[in-house]
Amino acid sequence: MLRRFGYFSIAMFFSGLAAAAEAPPPPAKMTAADIAAIKLAVSNVVKAYGQYYTDRNARGVIDNIFAQPSYSVSGAGPVVNEPAKQLPQMEANMKRMADTGWVKSVLVKPNVCVLNASAALASGTYYRYFADGSEHSRGSETFVMAKTKDGWRVVTLMFHEAVDKVVTCND
């Protein structure tokens, strides 16, 4: 019995070494220029999201903003944004908002937190407007972003309960 345990232990030890040898190396330290470039790229995606939404271009949001699959999280819990259902759901939401007089959405100065070379958060307060420029509504949201083969994409969109509560970071 001891001999079997000993062989098993040795096999597990070498299996662990093999697994450790296959682990990726630690990432290189990002420079200030790397971080600034990521912040700009992520901010541009968030800005494009607002423009696609304002243009009522659900296909643009799905094809150019969200990773597939992606998730949404509200106070009701997480939802998987299934690609087959995403377009009709987004179009219906855009129509519902337009029916209330909404014409434009803007996320003002999102806070972008670079987590690593492939992950970032963008958080801010969005404002929705009527045609006369008056405020329709506002809310806050946080985008969990990932760098994909297609560029920076939203992997999770979280809606905040508190209207002006945003995620900040220390750079």
What confidence tens digit (pLDDT) does each residue in 125-137 have?
999 999 999 999 9
Per-residue pLDDT tens digits for 112-161: 999 999 999 999 999 999 999 999 999 999 999 999 999 999 999 999 98
Counted residue by residue, the chain has a size of 171
pTM: 0.81
Confidence check: pLDDT of 19 > 70: no
In sequence order, the β-bridge partners of residue 105 are 128
Q: List b or e across 38-67, with b for residues whose CB sees 16 or more CB atoms inside 10 angstroms.
A: bbeebbebbeebbebbbebbbeebbeebbb
Confidence check: pLDDT of 16 > 90: no
Q: How far apart are CA 11 and CA 125, in angstroms?
A: 55
Average pLDDT over the chain, rounded to an integer: 87
Using alpha carbons only, give the angle 101, 110, 100 rounded to the nearest 5 degrees. Answer: 10
In sequence order, the β-bridge partners of residue 148 are 151
18 token code pair = 């093999």
Confidence check: pLDDT of 2 > 60: no
Count of CB atoms within 10 A of residue 112's CB?
24
Q: Tell me, what's the pLDDT at 36?
A: 97
Please tell me the class of the 30-159 domain: alpha beta
| For the chain, domain boundaries | 30-159
Q: Tell me, what's the pLDDT at 171?
A: 74
